[in-house]
Structure formats: structure tokens, C-alpha cells
């Protein structure tokens, strides 16, 4: 762990995320074309990690993001407060008609042989308008931040969002924070700003400033431009090909000290096999594999990320940190919504091999 050099002094924030917030409309198992009502979840690939770390793991976390002065913005702010995350908002004024908006994600849950269906309205999104200079990083980092995190979805929103990430990463490194990046490679998003070549070029510029990478085999191949095996026709639970990819990734980016991912074999929408792997300072760690009964799969990877980071921030061994991430990500799929409803003792019990027997 010495290689990661996590700050041990008192800091105002244990963890700071940079990314766009969205609201997700969830009609449950009903397809949207037949839906008459839906739940509203507040989410964001980067924010979810901060929310999980605060609500379940008791860490001091923040999020730097865009906020809009209209009703949806007020709803989102209330959920951020509820999860205990400190906001650093760049404000945008809504024109009452077209925006700017907080993006909408439409996502039913599917059931059994019917997969979940996800689509978006990111038109005129405030988060995509964020640009360098929008956040006062020296002020944000002034009282200490241990870990700074962003991701590939935010990087792909516009020409300027990746520049904000690099600006934030540089400020984080200067302030002594660990930096992490969730590759979250979305080809549809990158297609709108220049395609795969542009995506790889942009991500490479970001990863130069990154200590820790989160991403599956496909993320590493497409996001970093690394050749690997055909992920579609290979067992999703085989860690060996993933570790081979990591070797290539860390040769290309020798500054990266940690790479981690979940491994998920989807049998039906509600039955998955679930494992996770961690590469840290050249050492390899693999979790057990468990059979998951899934209520809502969205956010499971962010749940893994939060548990892993909690373990590393709090001096756990790499294997313990991996297991905490694996256990928390698994629990997160048993709740509706994108963020945690778990309690730390539940996560710790599952990480140690706890069972699902009734607690009396």
C-alpha cells in the first residue's frame, strides 16, 4: 500500500467526485411503453461512489457537479443532502422551456429472460456545459482531500468535460490526493464527440494523471486502445485474461498503481454470478464467486468501487478491501435504485462469508 501513499492526516474530505448528476425514471418491471408510474432515483456514475461512501461507510465525501435552478434541480439537491454528500455546484439558470437540464435516464428493470432497457435524454444537459475554470479547485482542496474520482461517462459528454477532469486531476495530485478514474466506456456517447479514436485519445490524456483505474475487459480494450481476447465469447468470470490486459495497460501507463473490476456472468436478468478482481502494485487478488438474486443491477459496479475505496482509505489489506467492494456491490443489486441502502455491518458480514439466513 505504500505505493499508493494515501494521506493519513486529518482532511475535510475523504473522497471527492467530479461528474454529472442525472435523475433516473424507473417503472420497475413494467416496460416504459406500458408504464403508468415510476420511481425517481438520483444518480451519476461518479456521484454514486461518493453517496455510497457517505451513507453506508460513514466517510466524508463531496461532489463537484452542475446544478440547475428548477424543480428537478431541487429534487436532486434534496437527495444529495439525504445521502450526506457535500455539494460543490456550478449553477445554471433554467429558461423555463428548453433548459439547460439535468439529464433524464429511462430504465426499466426487466425480469427473467427479459433484459432491462435503458435510454436517455441528455439534450441540453448542464453537466455537458462544465468547462475549465468552473470550480475553484484550490479552495475545494484547501482543507485536505484524500481521494479524487471521475469517470468516462462524464468525459464523453462534451469537448470540455474531459478538460475539467484533467484540471481536477492536476489539482488533486498537487494537493496530495489519490486519483481514480472509472473508464465506463460508452461507445454511443463517444460517437457524438468524435468516435472511438477521439475517445482513446481523450482517455489517454486523462489516465496520465491517474493512480487507480476501474474498468472491465471491454473498458480497458476500447478505452485504452489495448488489444485483448474477444470478451463476447469468453467466460466473464475468468480473471486470467483480465490480468493479461492489466499487464498491457500498466506497461502503456506505468503511473497506474491499481486496476480493479467486477466480473459478472448474467444467466437471466435476476440471476448473476458475481466476482471481482484487484491488481495492486503488481500483486493480484481475486474474490470468491457468489450467485446473486438481482432486484436492480444498475449501480452494482459503483457499489464495488465504494467498498474497495473504503477499505483502502481505512488501512485494510488489499484482499479485505477487495472483499468489501465485492460484498457491497452484491448487496447494492438487491435494492431498487442506483445508490446504497446497505449498512456497514451487513457489508462486513457478507465480506467475511456471511449467509442470507434470517437475522432474529
Residue 20 lies in a domain: yes
114-126 confidence digits (pLDDT tens) = 999 999 999 999 9
Query: What is the rounded distance in angstroms from the CA atom of residue 136 to the CA atom of residue 69?
Result: 20
Structural domain count of the chain: 1
Q: Please report, to the nearest 10 degrees, the dihedral formed by the alpha carbons of residues 353, 357, 358, 360 taken in order.
A: -60
The total number of residues shown for the chain amounts to 360
CA distances from 2 to 14, 170, 197, 280, 307 (A): 18, 21, 35, 11, 20
Using H for helix, E for strand and C for coil, what is the string for the chain? Answer: CCCCCCCCCCCCECEEEECCCEEEEECCCCCHHHCCCCEEEEECCCHHHHHHHHHCCCCCEEEEEEEECCHHHHHHHHHHHHHCEEEEEEEECCCCCCCCECEEEEECCCECCECCCEEEECCCEHHHHCCCCCCCHHHHCCCCECEEEEEHHHHCCCCCHHHHHHHHHHHHHHCCCEEEEECCCCHHHHHCCCHHHHHHHHHHHHHCCCCEEECCHHHHHHHHCCCCCCHHHCCCCCHHHHHHHHHHHHHHCCCCCEEEEEEEEEEECCEEEEEEEEEECCEEEECCCEEEECCCCCCHHHHHHHHHHHHHHCCCCHHHHHHHHHHHHHHHCCCCCCCCCCCHHHHHHHHCCCCCCCCC
pLDDT number for residue 5: 87
Residue 318 lies in a domain: yes
pLDDT number for residue 1: 37
Q: What is the grid cell recorded at 264?
A: 459478472
Q: What is the grid cell recorded at 183?
A: 473508464
What's the pTM value of the predicted model, to 2 decimals?
A: 0.94
CA distances from 70 to 37, 83, 160, 192 (A): 22, 20, 24, 27
Angle between helices 300-313 and 318-332 (to 10 degrees): 150
Residue 232 lies in a domain: yes
Residue 1 lies in a domain: no
pLDDT number for residue 192: 84
Residue 95 lies in a domain: yes
Residue 54 lies in a domain: yes
- Collect the ranges in the chain with pLDDT lower than 70: 1-2, 229-236, 354-360
CATH number where 89 lies: 3.40.1190.20
Residue 359 lies in a domain: no
pLDDT number for residue 283: 93
Domain that residue 111 falls in: 13-352
Amino acid at each position: 500500500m505504500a505505493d499508493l501513499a494515501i494521506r493519513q492526516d486529518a482532511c475535510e474530505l475523504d473522497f471527492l467526485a467530479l461528474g454529472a448528476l442525472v435523475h433516473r425514471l424507473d417503472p420497475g418491471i413494467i416496460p416504459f411503453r406500458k408504464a403508468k408510474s415510476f420511481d425517481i432515483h438520483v444518480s451519476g456514475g461518479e456521484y454514486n461512489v461518493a453517496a455510497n461512501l457517505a451513507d453506508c461507510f460513514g466517510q466524508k465525501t463531496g461532489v463537484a457537479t452542475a446544478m440547475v435552478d428548477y424543480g428537478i434541480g431541487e429534487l436532486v439537491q434534496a437527495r444529495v443532502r439525504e445521502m450526506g454528500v457535500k455539494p460543490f455546484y456550478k449553477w445554471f439558470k433554467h429558461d423555463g422551456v428548453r433548459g439547460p437540464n439535468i439529464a433524464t435516464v429511462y430504465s426499466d428493470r426487466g425480469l427473467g429472460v427479459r433484459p432491462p432497457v435503458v435510454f436517455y435524454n441528455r439534450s441540453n444537459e448542464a453537466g455537458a456545459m462544465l468547462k475549465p475554470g468552473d470550480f475553484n479547485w484550490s479552495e475545494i482542496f484547501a482543507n485536505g482531500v484524500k481521494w479524487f474520482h471521475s469517470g468516462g461517462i462524464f468525459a464523453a459528454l462534451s469537448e470540455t468535460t474531459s478538460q475539467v477532469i484533467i484540471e481536477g486531476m492536476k489539482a488533486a495530485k498537487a494537493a496530495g490526493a489519490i486519483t481514480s478514474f472509472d473508464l465506463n466506456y460508452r461507445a454511443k456517447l463517444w460517437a457524438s464527440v468524435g468516435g472511438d479514436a477521439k475517445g482513446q485519445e481523450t482517455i489517454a490524456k486523462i489516465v496520465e494523471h491517474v493512480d487507480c483505474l476501474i474498468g472491465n475487459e471491454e473498458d480497458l480494450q476500447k478505452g485504452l486502445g489495448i488489444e485483448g481476447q474477444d470478451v463476447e465469447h469468453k467466460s466473464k468470470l475468468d480473471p486470467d485474461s483480465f490480468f493479461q490486459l492489466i499487464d498491457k495497460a500498466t506497461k502503456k501507463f506505468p503511473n497506474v498503481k491499481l486496476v480493479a473490476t467486477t466480473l459478472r456472468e448474467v444467466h437471466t436478468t435476476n440471476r448473476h454470478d458475481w466476482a471481482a478482481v484487484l491488481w495492486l502494485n503488481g500483486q493480484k487478488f481475486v474474490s470468491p464467486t457468489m450467485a446473486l438474486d438481482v432486484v436492480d443491477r444498475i449501480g452494482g459496479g459503483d457499489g464495488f468501487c465504494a467498498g474497495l475505496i473504503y477499505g483502502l482509505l481505512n488501512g485494510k489489506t488489499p484482499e479485505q478491501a477487495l472483499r468489501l467492494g465485492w460484498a457491497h456491490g452484491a448487496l447494492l443489486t438487491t435494492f431498487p435504485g442506483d445508490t446504497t441502502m446497505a449498512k456497514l455491518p451487513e457489508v462486513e458480514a457478507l465480506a467475511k462469508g456471511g449467509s442470507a439466513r434470517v437475522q432474529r
